[in-house]
Structure formats: C-alpha cells, structure tokens
Structure 1
Amino acid sequence: MNQRAKTYRKLHDIPEEWGTAVNVQAMVFGNMGNDCATGVAFTRNPSNGAKDFYGEFLVNAQGEDVVAGIRTPQELTIKARKSHGSDLPSLEEVMPSIFRELETVRHQLENHYRDMQDIEFTIQQGKLYMLQTRTGKRTAHAALQIAVDMANEGLISKSQALMRLKPDLIDQLLHPTLDPKAKKTVIAKGLPASPGAAAGKVVFSADEAVTRSENGDKVILVRIETSPDDIHGLHAAEGVLTTRGGMTSHAAVVARGMGRPCVAGAGEVKVNYSSASFEVGDVVVREGQLITIDGVTGQVMLGEVPTVPPQLSGAFGTIMSWADEFRSMQVRANAETPADARQAKEFGCEGIGLVRTEHMFFEGGRIVAMRQMILASDKTDRQAALDKLLAMQREDITELFQIMDGLPVTVRLLDPPLHEFIPHTEAEMGLVAKAAGVPLDRVRRRASELQEANPMLGHRGCRLAITYPEICEMQARAIFEAAAEVGRSAKKTPVAEVMVPLVSTLEELVQLKKVIEATAQQVQKEQGVNFTYRVGTMVELPRAALQAGRLAEQAEFFSFGTNDLTQTTYGLSRDDAGAFLPEYKAKGIVEQDPFVSLDQ
C-alpha cells in the first residue's frame, strides 16, 4: 500500500488485514465532444443535509477533471447555479433529458440503499452511464439532518437514525461559528465547501501544517488545489482554503469527512508557493500570518475573528430527544467553571460528573492563597491560607449547584502534587515570595522539598489529604456550606457528591470519609439545614480496581479515572508514550492508542 492508503486507513481505523477491493469495469468517455460530459453528484446536500440534488459536471471532460479542481465545474441544477451566482449553464439546462434520467436514478439509488449516495456518472455521445455509487461522505450537520429527515420520511427507523451517527460526528456539532457581532476584514470569497469557522497561521504545504501543529500552532492550509497526498496536512490543519476546485473537489470532500471548515475555489486568491505568500488585490498574506475562514459563507478574513458556541436546536434537539427514548445510561459533564456548566446544562447533561477543584486555584489571587498555604511554616499559617481558599471555593461551588438546579455535582478533592503550584525559575520564585510575603529562601527550600522523582506516583490525591487533613476539611466545608446556602433558597435541593482521588487502600478511604462526614455534620448543625451528600472514590489504580469489592463497603459511588488507570496498568506515561506508540500501531502490537480506547 502507498502512503495515501496507509494514512486513510489510520484516520478511519481500518485494519490492514482487511485488504483492498479492486473494481474492473468497461471504460466510457466523457471527452469525445460537446454531447459528452462527466460529473459527481450527491443525492442530498453533503454540506447541510438539505434534500437537494447536489453536484457538479464538466462538458467534454473526464471524471478526474472534476475532482482534481483543474477546471471550475458547472452546477447540476438551475437552483444551485443561481444560488452560487454562476454564469455557466447547469446540466438541467444543457442536457435536460439526461438530467431527468439522472434525477430518476438518484431516487432509485437512495430508496434502495436508504442513505445519501455519492454517485459518479459519464455521458458519452448523449447516453448516460452510471460509474459508481457509494454512501456519501457528509459533514456532521448534514449527517444529523439526513438521519432525522430519512426517519421522518419513513426510509429508516428512529433507532437506525441514531446508530448512523458516530460519537465523533456528534462531537463535530460542538464546533464554534463566527460571532455575528465581531468585526471582520473580508479579503476574498470562495465556495462554502465545508461548514464551521476556523482561524490559524497560514501554511502552504501539508508537511509544514503537520510540523507547526505538532509545535502547538493552529494552522490554515492554503493550496491552489489539494491532492490525496495532502491528507496528513488536512488532518493537522484547523481548516483549508483552495483557490481552485468546487464543492466536490478533493479538499471539499475530505474536509467535510474530517469535520474541518473548507473554503474552495477562491479564484481571487493568488498563491505563490516560492515566496510562501498569497495575494488578493493589494493585500499580501505571508506564511505564519493569521487568517480566518468561514465554511458556511465562503469568506476569507484577515486576523482571528471571535467565535460563538453552537446551540442545541433543530435536528440536533430532535436526535437527542430520540436518544432519550432508547438510552439506558445517564450522561454527566466535566465542568468546573460556570460557563462550562451552563453549556453542559443546555446540551442536556444530567449533572456534573467531575469538578476538578485544582483548576479553581490557578487564577489570580487564588494562586497566591494556594501558594501561601503550601509555603506555610506551621499549621496556623496553613489554616490562615486555607480560610482564604475556603471562601473562594465555596463561591465557585455555590454557583455550580445553582446552575445544576438539583442535579448531582461530583466534586473531586485536590488531586495534583503541590509542586505544580510552585514555580521553578528564580525570577518566578521571587514574585511568589513577594506576593506571599515570605523570604525568597523559604520559597527555594519549599520548592526543593516538594520536588519528586515521579510526581504522578508521589504525594498527591488522597495522600495529600491524609498528610494534611485540614485541606480535606476545608474542601468538604466549602462543598457543604455551598449546598446549605443553595438549599435554603432553591426549590430543588443540591445533591453533593464528594470524590476522594487516588485511593489504593480501604483505610485511606475510611479515614478521609470520617473527616468528610464530621465536617458535614458540623456544617448542618451550624447552618440548621439538612442536605443530601454522598462520599465516593475514583478508581484510577490497578490495586483499587482489584480491591473494588472492599472499597464498595465504604464508597457510595465509583468513578473511573481512565488516564491514570491506563498509565499504571500499562506502565505508560501519557506524556511520553506518543514518541513510540505510532511504531507500536504500525507493527500491529496495538490497534489503538490505549489512552483513547478501551480493551474489548
């Protein structure tokens, strides 16, 4: 297999042992004169899912001319021609009888396969030949709309509609779109080949896209036209802009399949590979400069344009309501900020399954108080810092309880090692010492004391709470005081779940559960309010998994921390395994990255 085939298999999780099919068929010619043509069509719009015959053709041409983007193709229908403002006649106008025959075939194929079809055809001397049909690639938005429409039309059932939507397609629906209120400097316009908006630094080659992406840059791949050999760059890029080609060009089809925004056929953009730049009139954009593309309008803009999150409505709302009819599993969200919690609630989450409390301590004045607690020389100083953190943590959790309105909220106690909160450069240590009001030597000494050879297996999680029970007590108090406050005013009583992280022995859970329950009783007595709470643990170590039966004697719920569980079961570092896991996949040792899949 060539590299193109290998990359395609990798992107679509196709095992090599499946082999490759080869079709053998008679040759027909669409380039024998003006009574000949060739084209590509979709039985429905692959970009938005509308029930429109959608495609392009070229008179006196072969199929490769259409998909390669060498010539700008013509539209199939009068409606599409007018919509795109094209002066070139459509197939419906040039060869009306052939168009009607193709329209009949369109319906036959879709009714037979009960799915949107991607078809290729050739017209040789006035006769229509169907070359192939296959299930058409489509954007996430189109997949959703087509599934809902076909179910409503009676072609498929509701359950079939649901099963056609892969989880990664639903994920694509959560991509942002351009903020309609934002200022835009539009420099060019092409065809809206794949919806969504993306901003990034301009690159002109697939290899450069991969290199910059691996270095943490977001990039937009700009090409005159793409070929199948660019697939690795398309995957690495946030979006793609081409100056040639139409809605069925290689760039458009692949971008739609990957969920990447794409603007195709932007003819006013003049690309110069040798100078690594492109021009639009008097505007010159060089490699590394930021641009934004909008795959819904086809616009190309200078700079980075702000985006807005998607909304739960229309076909998405319909399919999610159908999912509720069949599912037996509840879905909660990971969220620790009010913005995340609100969006999760809008998308129908049934609670928060993980609040990472450490994320709340990395902002502004909070990190100062956290560092004061870590640098404290005795329990009195540490308690003073914890009192500051208590107010901050209580405020955050109160807002989460209010947003969830009676749905359960699982709050994980402090998990990372303390050294993550202390900087390691001399300049940063000086700033910490000044902010905390302590000598620089104390910061240096404490940073040295907290240094660990293997911090992921060191003094973290429940081990911190065992060593410093006052930290556990502070966090439990913040949770329960928030529950009491919201419970007094809300119609629905908050449901607080306290999660103890990184437990490996029953005794760890027993001791910390005593601290948590004692704090709950104290808060209830002080506040004169009863609230519902549960204490559980996160199973993220092999020993905890093996001892789950004993842990269940004390834990009221389990959560599974698959990252740490994978690390400690495989003996892999998630931060370092990427250097050799591709080789393992290439040699057939593992089928998938263990951090993104579960063993069956």
Structure 2
Amino acid sequence: MTYRFQEGKKEWKDLLGGKGANLCEMTKLDLPVPSGFIVSTDACRDYLAQESKKLSPKLIEEIILQIKHLEALSAKSFGIGDNPLLVSVRSGAKFSMPGMMDTILNLGLNDQTVHALSAITGNVDFAFQCYCRLIQMFADVVYGVSAENFGVTPTGTKSEKEWQQTVQNYQKIYAANTGQSFPQNTMEQLIIAVEAVFTSWNNQRAKVYRRLHNISDALGTAVTIQQMVFGNYSADSATGVMFTRNPATGEKGVYGEFLLQAQGEDIVAGIRTPEPIRKLAGTMPYVYDELLKIATQLENHYQDMQDVEFTIEAGKLYMLQTRNGKRTPQAAVTIAYNLMKEGIISTETMINRIDEEMIEKLLHPTFTKEARQKKAIVQGLPASPGASVGQVAFTAESAKEMAMQGRPVILVRNETSPEDIEGMSVSEAIVTSRGGMTSHAAVVARGMGICCVVGCEALQVDESQGVAYFAEGQLKTGDVISVDGSSGRVYRGKLPLNEATTSAVLEKVLKICDSQSTLAVYGNAETPRDIKESVKKGAKGIGLARTEHMFFKANRLKMMRQLILADNPDKVNEALSYMKEEQKADFCQMYQILGELPCTIRLLDPPLHEFLPQEKKELREIAQDLAINSQEVLTKAQSLAEINPMLGLRG
C-alpha cells in the first residue's frame, strides 16, 4: 500500500498518482529530491469504499514504518527530539488536477517541536510562522474552516513570547471552529491528514473538474508524504514554479516565477505577486544555472514540456514536482511542432499530441486593430490568449446564474480558488487583481482554453459589494467589459472582434498531417462565402452543396414560395427564370473559388412545406404579398405538410 521514492517509476501513475510517480522518476535520475514515500491509489479506493472512513490498522503500521525510514535517512525525529522531522502531505491523482484536492505543509510541529525547530535553526520567526501555517491549513483541509477565520498569516519579527501568544490565539480559533483541540501527537496529525486528502477526492470542486475534463471518479488519489524543505527559511531561500517552455505561446526557453522567503502554496494562491524566473539569474546565479540544466534534462527525458515546482532552502535547490505542463492550444501546437523539428519526438507523436479540440480552440477571435487603440482601464499579465466580451460577475455563483440566463460572463476576482471552478467553466474570460502567470486562475484557464488576465494590481475588487475600482472609475455586476488575454488589457464596453486566423506553425502542422493522412476532409457548404471559408480552413473540396439552402435569402424565398403556390404557368415560369439566374451566378462563383477542387451538388429535392411557415397569420401575409387568395394558400400548405418526408412527395 506504500512505496518509497526509490521503488517507483514514472509508468506507475495508476498506482502512485502523477506527482508520486514523477518524484520516483526524478529520484532515479539522481536529481535533488527530498526523501519521501507514497500511499497508493489502491489504499484510497479501499478507504473510500469503507463506511467507517478510517485507515486500516495494516496501512497505519506501514506508514509508521515508512516514517521511521525517513527518520533514519534524515537523522531527524518525528514529533520528538532536538531535530524535528517535518513532512508535507500532498494529493496526487493519475491526471493533473491543479488545486482541486488538498495539501498540508509543516506537519510534525507541536508545542514542543516548534521550540526545537526554533533552537536548531536559530530562527524563532521561521519556526513559529511554520506552526501557524500548519494550524491554519489543518483546520482548512480537515474541517473545512476557511483560512480567513485566522486572518493574515503572521510575518515579521517577534519575540518567542509574542509568537507563543499568536500560536495560542490560532489554537483558540481552531478549537472554536472545529470543536477539537489541535492534535499534539504528530502521528495522529499524519493519519488524520492522509484521511483528509483521500476524502478530498470527492469534494465538489474535484468532482466538477473531473467532469469537465472527462476524468473517471473511480481512479482515486495517491498521497505523497515528503520531508519538508523550506522556501521561507532565510533570505537565500525561495519557492518557484517553472515551465521548460512558454505555456501560453510555446516559445522555447524557461518560463516561470519565484518568491523569496515563501512556501509553495504562496505562489499558487496568488497572495503575493512573484518575480519572473529570469531574475533568479541575478539573485542566485548558481541555482539558476542548475535549474536550467535540470529543465533540459527533464524535458529530454519526458520528451515534452515540463511544469516543475522547486524550493530553495538556504541556497540549495530541491525539486518537488515535475509533470507535463498544461498549455494553451496555440502553445500545444507550437511545442509539438518544435519538439519534432528538434528530433525529440517523431512526426507521428507530434500528430497524436494535437487533437481536434486544440484546433477548434485555436480559432480564438481577436480585437480589431482600431479597437485596441482604445485606452484600457487596467492592464495585467496575459495568462491565456483570446479575446472575449461579457458582463462582469464577482462570484462563481453569480457567474453560473448569468450563464444560465444566456448572458456572456466575465468572472472578476481578487484571485480565484478551486471552489470557483464551476463559475470559471461557464465564463468567457477571467480577470484577477492578484496572482501571477502560475496562479490558480492562470493554470486552470489555460487548461480550459479560457481567455484570462491576472495580476491587475490597479484593480481593487470588493467581491462582497459587487464592485471593482480602478483609477478612473468603477465596475459593477452586469457591466460589459472586453478582455484581451493576449496583451493583458481590460477595456470598458464591447470592442469589435476579428475572426480568428490560423498561425504559420499550424499551417505547417496541417500540411504534415495531410501528407500522413488517408482521409480527406470536405466542406458542407453552398454559399460562396461559406465555400471560401471551407477552402481557407483546408477543406479538400465540397462534399455536399445543398441547393435548397441557396433559396433562403428574402427575395429568393419569395420566388420559391411563388413557385410552390403558383396557380398558372406564367407565375411558374417567372419564378423559375428568376431562380435560374440567381443560381447560375452562385455556381459561377463556387467554381471560381474551388478551381480544380471537387464539389458534389445535390439538386433541389426538399420537402416543399419547409419553404412555408406553419402559422396561419404568416401564411396569410404570404398570400397578401403574392396577391393570392389566402384560403387557397392555407389549403395548399396543408396539402404539402409531411410528417416524414421520406414517405411523402419527396420519397
């Protein structure tokens, strides 16, 4: 039921989850990975199947043995002694579900070990801040007590006495909201934490995410238990997220962000705006160089763009996660093509990595050049490309309500959280006032192909009052804004859009696909405009041009109705003569557009009642327009009506 990092491998994602399997793989690659072990998805499924929802005695015994092994490796002790072992407890399903399940950091601290950590590090502020974070996260994950109940996580310099008072206040808030004292037995902490992470597999946001991404509910999550390393330890400590290529555009080169003196959850939560990864080259050049080497090694090993999480503790780099990075459709096409050109993957692999949904989402609209000249009300970071127009909603609930009413929605938040997933999924775009390119909003929006702008620091959002303030005004619920996810600009009002165009890289990819394919795609169109668009999009001809659809323009429809309802040869001939000339003109354009490409034309053979309205009032209006007796029109329409055209006149 449990596996050490040295025992697993990347192919075991079903058993160890994506996070755990890749930690095992990085350990085998001899990368700097803190030691740990994984509680398997088998254990999760067993736990969820039990009515008692308790870990089995056998599994608890295994976990205790694994902790003893960690103590031996680290020369630290769990819950006692002068050199305490602290661990993180993280979820990790087979498929990446960013932010959907739960994590607890700094587990292993209690009223005694916090003093030991303070003494051995010589850093009172660091030790007690870690303890406060643990109490806060434990309450959130295990009991669903919002972090807001605790206020802002304390920082700065305090005396040990002041910190003890702060911890006591945290423990009082914990007890008041949970009805329990914060557990001092660290093994009890660990068992409860594992159970809570297993339970989080079935929380609402995780269920919604799985439904949106077609992930089975039966898979379960693994739990990774890993020795803590601390990005908040000292001035030369940091935490960061890095992609081996740009996840928005696909451009080659490392791309990401880091925060000095912070823990991993800070950068994802968007609480502080992080620094771009390139600045690490000036802050810690030796760490940056090592990170670049590891990035190249991981990308070559996995043969795909990687999304890595890392921590720097006192100037030493540690790798905490790697996975195939989520990316926009534009980036997916560019990355697959470039990896093929670089010889890392085959042509066949490149084609298999680009699916029809990516191609469809690539056809995002953009704002017209003239529209973009308008002054933006705020500007943030372009987290996910595209251009969208919609009405402002400040909560996920109001976004859902507006979407159900058929109104286009743009979700505006300080920052999004996993609980917002349903509101995010129905939004045309997402705008946040805080957070960076690897914040929750940015990662989820890119995965969904939703336009997104984050880190609009000039936008002050008051979600409770349903209003957002910017330098020259304010936005209220229902106000229309336009969001440019490619430039990071947000505009007031509705800007005009251009239709999407295919990129040069996509054109090259599609040509390669054509050279490999045994199947040709034809268009289904009958107007010159639609045929031109079909050819532009790569159709190899027109598989069906339906002539009945050529008569739905107002003047043509009138003459078609005259033909159907005619009571003498002159009116028949007049209608036929008119339609003949109209069709000849259309066919000439169709042939000119298609050139040598084939076109299959289906001659006019529709159920005739389809050209006539159903309502008596509209039939009388037609009679008046054609100067025909209205009763005759009603009688003729009734005689032409067919329930099943294949068994009527047409059949």
Computing the radius of gyration from Cα coordinates, the structure with the larger value is 2
Equivalent residue pairs, number: 449
C-alpha deviations, 1:450-506, integer Å up to 9, x for none?
A: 667xx5xx23xx667x45xxxxxxxxxxxxxxxxxxxxxxxxxxxxxxxxxxxxxxx
Post-superposition offset of 1:311: 3.5
- Aligned residue number for residue 416 of structure 2: 226
Deviation, 1:109, is 0.7
Deviation at 1:449, TM superposition (A): 5.6
- For residues 167-182 of structure 1, the aligned pairs below 5 Å read 167-182=356-371
**1:28 and 2:229 are equivalent in the alignment:** yes
Residue 158 (1) aligns with residue 351 (2): no
- Displacement of 1:232 in angstroms is 2.4
Partner of residue 55 from structure 1, selected from 234, 256, 268: 256
Structure 2 residue 203 is the aligned partner of structure 1 residue 2: yes
In the TM superposition, residue 20 of structure 1 has moved relative to its aligned partner by 3.0
Distance in 2 (CA, whole Å) between partners of 1:346 and 1:73 is 42
In structure 1, stretches of 5+ residues that fail to align are: 78-89, 468-507, 509-600
* Match 1:97 to one of 283, 286, 290: 286
Q: Report the Cα distance in structure 1 between the residues aligned to 2:273 and 2:568, rounded to whole angstroms.
A: 75
Distance 1:386 1:207 in 2: 57
Amino acid at match of 2:274: P
1:294 corresponds to 2:484: yes
Task: Note the C-alpha offset of 1:43.
Answer: 0.6
SS at structure 1 position matched to 2:295? helix
User: Does the aligned pair in 1 maintain the 2:308–2:320 contact within 8 Å?
Assistant: yes
In the alignment, the residues of structure 1 paired with residue 295 and residue 457 of structure 2 have an alpha-carbon distance, to the nearest angstrom, of 31
What residue number does 1:397 align with?
587
Alpha-carbon contact 1:194-1:296 (below 8 Å) kept? yes
* 1:241 equivalent among 404, 419, 431: 431
Instruction: Give the conservation status (yes or no) of the 8 Å contact 2:437–2:443.
Output: yes
Match of 2:515 in 1: 325
Question: Given that residues 312 and 346 in structure 1 are in contact (C-alpha distance below 8 angstroms), is that contact kept between their aligned partners in structure 2?
Answer: no
TM-score, with length taken from structure 1:
0.69
The letter of the residue matching 2:283 is V
Partner of 2:538: 348
Query: Alpha-carbon deviations, 1:517-560, whole Å to 9, x = none?
Result: xxxxxxxxxxxxxxxxxxxxxxxxxxxxxxxxxxxxxxxxxxxx
Distance 1:332 1:100, change over 3 A: same
What corresponds to 1:216 in structure 2? 406
Q: Partners of 1:215 and 1:389 in 2: how far apart?
A: 42
Does 2:474 align with 1:284?
A: yes
Deviations 1:150-203 (A, max 9, x none): 111111112211111111111122222222244635222111111111222222
Tell me whether 1:255 sits opposite 2:445 in the alignment: yes
How many Å apart are 1:381 and its aligned residue? Answer: 4.4
Residue 363 of structure 1 and its aligned partner are, at CA, apart by: 2.6
Distance 1:210 1:390, change over 3 A: farther
1:521-532 equivalences in 2 (<5 Å)? none
**Alignment-derived partner of residue 335 in structure 1:** 525
Aligned to 2:379: 189
How far is the alpha carbon of 1:262 from its aligned partner? Answer: 1.0
More displaced stretch, 362-371 vs 148-157? 362-371
Matching residue of 1:124: 313
Change (3 A) 1:289 1:159: same
Deviation at 1:40, TM superposition (A): 0.9
Report the alpha carbon displacement of residue 440 of structure 1 after superposing the two structures with TM.
4.8
Distance in 1 between residues matched to 2:624 and 2:474, nearest whole Å: 47
Instruction: Indicate the residue corresponding to 2:393 in structure 1.
Output: 203
Q: How much has 1:318 moved relative to structure 2?
A: 1.6
Q: CA–CA distance in 1 between the matches of 2:410 and 2:478?
A: 9
Q: Secondary structure at the match of 2:253?
A: coil
SS of structure 1 residue aligned to 2:292: helix
1:115 aligns with 2:304: yes
Distance 1:126 1:396 in 2: 72
In 2, Cα distance between equivalents of 1:370 and 1:250: 57
Post-superposition CA distance 1:363-404 (Å, at most 9, x none)? 332232333344445776456434433333333233222211
Q: State how far apart, in whole Å, the 2-side matches of 1:195 and 1:415 are.
A: 45
SS in 2 for 1:17: coil
Unaligned runs of 5+ in 2: 1-201
Matched residue of 1:52: which SS? strand
Report the CA distance between 1:442 and its aligned residue.
5.0
Question: Which residue of structure 1 aligns with residue 333 of structure 2?
Answer: 144
CA contact (8 A) 2:362 2:502 kept: no
Q: Which amino acid aligns with 2:435?
A: G
CA contact (8 A) 2:548 2:606 kept: yes
Residue 439 of structure 2 is aligned to residue 264 of structure 1: no
Name the amino acid aligned to 1:201. Answer: Q
Q: Choose 50-59 or 407-416, whichever is displaced more.
A: 407-416
- Alpha-carbon separation, structure 2, partners of 1:341 and 1:334: 8
Structure 2 residue corresponding to 1:11, chosen from 189, 212, 227: 212
Question: Conserved in 2, the CA contact under 8 Å of 1:189 and 1:298?
Answer: yes
Describe the superposition over 1:186-234 as per-residue Cα deviations: whole angstroms up to 9, x where unpaired: 2221111111112222223333333433443332222221122222222
* Aligned residue identity for 2:418: P
* SS class of match (1:53): strand
Q: Which amino acid aligns with 1:5?
A: A
The answer on whether the counterparts of 1:184 and 1:302 sit within 8 Å (CA) in structure 2 is no
CA distance in 2, matches of 1:292, 1:207: 21
- How far apart are the structure 2 equivalents of 1:48 and 1:146? 9
* Distance of 1:372 and 1:412 partners within structure 2: 22
**Residues 551 and 560 of structure 2 are in contact (CA less than 8 Å); yes or no, is this contact kept in structure 1?**
yes
C-alpha change, 1:153 and 1:436, in structure 2 (3 Å) is same
Q: Distance in 1 between matches of 2:537 and 2:336?
A: 19
The whole-number CA distance in structure 1 between the counterparts of 2:546 and 2:477 is 39
**Alignment CA distance shift 1:325-1:424 (3 Å):** closer
2:239 is equivalent to residue 38 of structure 1: yes
RMSD, aligned α-carbons: 2.7
Displacement after TM superposition at 1:428 (Å): 4.8
The one-character-per-residue Cα deviations of 1:19-62 (angstroms, maximum 9, x if unpaired) are 33333322222222322211111010000011121111111211
Deviates more, 1:255-264 or 1:372-381: 372-381
Secondary structure at 1:18 match in 2: coil
Structure 1 residue 133, shift from structure 2 partner: 0.4
| Residues 333, 344 of structure 1: 8 Å contact kept | yes
Structure 2 CA distance for aligned equivalents of residues 113 and 419 of structure 1: 60
* Aligned residue identity for 2:269: A
Q: Give the superposition deviation at 1:444.
A: 5.2
TM-superposed deviation, 1:431: 4.6
Q: Secondary structure at the match of 1:360?
A: helix
Residues 97, 316 of structure 1: alpha-carbon distance in 2 compared, 3 angstrom cutoff: same
- 1:302-321 superposed Cα distances (whole Å, 9 cap, x missing partner): 23222223444421122112
CA distance in 2, matches of 1:376, 1:277: 62
Cα contact 1:178–1:197 (8 A) shared by 2: yes
CA contact (8 A) 2:239 2:264 kept: yes
In structure 1, what is the Cα distance between the partners aligned to 2:604 and 2:393? Answer: 42
Please give the residue correspondences for 1:193-592 in structure 2 after superposition, counting only pairs within 5 Å. 193-377=383-567, 381=571, 384-413=574-603, 418=608, 420-423=610-613, 428=618, 431-442=621-632, 458-459=644-645, 466-467=649-650
1:434-455 deviations in Å (ceiling 9; x for gaps): 4333355555555666667xx5
Distance (whole Å) between structure 2 residues aligned to residue 416 and residue 15 of structure 1: 45
Q: 1:121-167: CA deviations, max 9, x gaps? A: 11122221111100001111111111111111111112211111111
Identical amino acids, percent of aligned pairs? 47
TM superposition score normalised by structure 2: 0.64
CA distance in 2, matches of 1:21, 1:257: 22
Aligned mates of 1:222, 1:26 — CA distance in 2: 37
